[in-house]
Structure 1
Amino acid sequence: MCGRFALTASPKEVDATFSLPDLEAFPPRYNIAPTQPILMVTAGEPRAPGSNLPDRISLLVRWGLIPAWVKDTRDFPLLLNARSETAAEKSSFRAAMRHRRALIPASGFYEWRQIGGKRVQAYWIRPRHGGVIAFAGLMETYAEPGGSEMDTGAILTTSASSDIVHLHDRMPVVIQQQDFSRWLDCRFQEPRHVADLLRPAEPGFFEPVPVSDLVNKVANTGPEIQARVEPQSEPPKPERKNSAPASHAQMTLF
């Protein structure tokens, strides 16, 4: 999954990658957390001959997708991620997969090595060769009962690549630059036509860097949270006595 990520590239670098000449200035963000605004890129309106409409547009959305059919958000879970294998069939994501696919500019993301369900080491997972990358995203505009509208979004995930599977079994889907237009084309490219893009990153693409637990707190937003540290060693596993047989049952929302 992806519960924290960063966008430290400059607006100029984001424009160079995503072709967003009208992108407004923004500061580097080292610790983007759920419910905060995130930058998304979508396809522009269909262009008539001679039109100067942009091919792509950028907008800020709340990280945490809310489907249009939700009546009361207080009773609905926060949808930060969507499993790419099932998003086209799930009611929460089906419409967005068909009509509102997006790209999410990022410089990398964070993951935690866990032992016994407890986080013991944070990692900053960045592209090995640097640069800004694009997570596959979904967008949904939610109409609140009072009449106002809110753009919301989620990150699509897939099986983890060999670089990070020892940390977590899931990772964000990364869309390569040559595939941006096909992914964003919701007029002619149905979900089945872009399913081949929903795959793990190639081995060697990401580099996990051990970092301190500063990233655990949303209030910490400076570059120091990405500083490399010596990873914590695993504590010895205690002996278990009279333990009950392990259960393989697992619940999942998606």
Structure 2
Amino acid sequence: MCGRYCLDTPRAELQQLLSSWLRADDSAWLEHYAPRELIRPHEPVLAVRREHGEDRLAHMLWGLLPGWVKDPLEAPRPINARAETIAEKTSFRGPWRHHRCLLPSTGFFEKGHLIHRKDRQMFWLAGLWDRWIGPDGSEVETCCVITTRPNSLVAPLHDRMPVIVPDGLESVWLEPGDGAHRRALEPMLTPSPPDPWDCRALKPAATKNNHQQLSLLD
């Protein structure tokens, strides 16, 4: 699973990395950005999504609230969606068809360890998003992280890991497409090769704190 991740890229560097995704009116999203060493479920997260033919930057709550839910206070809010069943599960099959998103990250946590790229560069977690509209017209946009079986680096720590969208395939991932397009995306739902990744044990104090937090989700 993916129960914690981080995005600690400095603002100026992040703005440069996201420059191809930004529109003139997207700058407000980054004005409130601050590097985060620990992002938890149900917190606001930064995401890129495609809607009405445009790729846009957005803030969403981490924990998917399907648009068809009647009572948002009673509905489960899954933070992860299993890659093997996203086309079948009621909560995920609509977003899988129409609402895929990208979540920028610099690392994710598993059992007191931080997994990040060896070059320390940002990467994209594969996600799904949806929009819930209340009777009064209020809107809430939420998302979840897609997970798959682990690669050899993560396997000693957990039996799941987040799906990582390969560099250069971001637009392909966001394209709504048809059934044939979704089938073409399925190879992207497999584990990322271990070679580009590094696994670092956290410091004792941080390890204890992070392990306690992660245990609540396991």
Q: CA deviation at 1:216?
A: 5.2
> Aligned with 1:57: secondary structure?
strand
**Do the aligned partners of 2:11 and 2:35 also contact (CA within 8 Å) in 1?**
no
Which of 187, 209, 212 pairs up with 1:214? 209
Counterparts of 2:181 and 2:211, CA distance in 1? 38
Q: CA deviation at 1:206?
A: 2.1
- Alignment pair present for 1:183 and 2:186: no
Which of 23, 45, 51 pairs up with 2:52? 45
Which of 163, 166, 169 pairs up with 2:159? 169
Q: CA deviation at 1:44?
A: 5.1
> Aligned with 2:41: secondary structure?
coil
Aligned partner of 2:149: which letter? S
Give runs of ≥4 in structure 1 deviating > 4 Å: none
Counterparts of 2:16 and 2:148, CA distance in 1? 27
Which of 140, 144, 155 pairs up with 1:150? 140
Q: Percent identity?
A: 34
Query: Which structure 2 residues correspond to residues 14-93 of structure 1 after superposition, within 5 A?
Result: 14-18=14-18, 19-21=20-22, 22-23=26-27, 24-25=30-31, 26-43=33-50, 45-46=52-53, 55-93=54-92
Corresponding residue for 1:127? Answer: 117
Q: CA deviation at 1:200?
A: 0.5
> Aligned with 1:177: secondary structure?
coil
Counterparts of 1:32 and 1:78, CA distance in 2? 16
Structure 2 length normalisation: TM-score? 0.85
Counterparts of 1:60 and 1:159, CA distance in 2? 28
Cα distance change, pair 157–214 in 1 and its aligned pair in 2 (3 A): same
Unpaired segments of 5 or more residues in structure 2? 214-218
> Aligned with 1:195: secondary structure?
helix
Counterparts of 1:84 and 1:60, CA distance in 2? 23
Corresponding residue for 1:7? Answer: 7
Counterparts of 2:14 and 2:162, CA distance in 1? 19
Counterparts of 1:85 and 1:205, CA distance in 2? 24
Counterparts of 2:5 and 2:173, CA distance in 1? 21
Counterparts of 1:132 and 1:105, CA distance in 2? 7
Equivalent pairs counted in the alignment come to: 201
Cα distance change, pair 12–191 in 1 and its aligned pair in 2 (3 A): farther
Q: CA deviation at 1:75?
A: 2.9
RMSD: 1.9
Cα distance change, pair 210–5 in 1 and its aligned pair in 2 (3 A): same
Counterparts of 2:131 and 2:5, CA distance in 1? 22
Structure 1 length normalisation: TM-score? 0.73
> Aligned with 1:194: secondary structure?
helix
Q: CA deviation at 1:172?
A: 0.5
Q: CA deviation at 1:217?
A: 7.3
Please identify, of 102-111 and 179-188, the stretch whose mean Cα deviation from structure 2 is larger: 179-188
**Do the aligned partners of 2:150 and 2:158 also contact (CA within 8 Å) in 1?**
yes
Counterparts of 1:16 and 1:205, CA distance in 2? 22
